[in-house]
Amino acid sequence: MVTDAQQACFEAGIKFGSLYHQFAGTPVSPDSAESLERAIAESIENQPFCESVTVDIDADALADAADDHGYVELTGRFMDVEMRIEYADVTVRTEMAMEDGYPLMRLVGVE
């Protein structure tokens, strides 16, 4: 027996895992950060029950970390993500942000 709230949380997790492992490793620079933010958000919003995705890539952090070629491979340390999932009557709010050097994905609210 699975409740709608549990299913909604499962769906939220799928989106986070998808987002992270699809796009981690992408070459990104301060100049290309904006197009990548938009593409990630629009891509994951295609998935079922995913109402909105906001991706914020930290261009300053990219600039600090960039190699001699001016870019880095995207990891969680360079981006914050917020997501809203709607399943049946349940709305789940989630976010990913750095915590102790680890990109922590967490449930912010289940309503």
Three-class SS state of 101? coil
Cβ-based nearer residue to a second copy, 32 or 59: 32
The separation between CA 46 and the C-alpha centre of its own chain, rounded to angstroms, equals: 14
Structure tokens belonging to residue 70: 């001016």
Q: How far is the CB of 79 from a second copy (least distance, A)?
A: 13
Q: How far is the CB of 10 from a second copy (least distance, A)?
A: 4
Distance of alpha carbon 62 from alpha carbon 79, whole angstroms = 10
Q: Where does this chain bind a second copy (CB under 8 A)? A: 1-3, 5-7, 9-22, 24-29, 31-32, 35-36, 38-40, 42-48, 67-71, 73, 75, 94, 100-102, 105, 107, 109-110
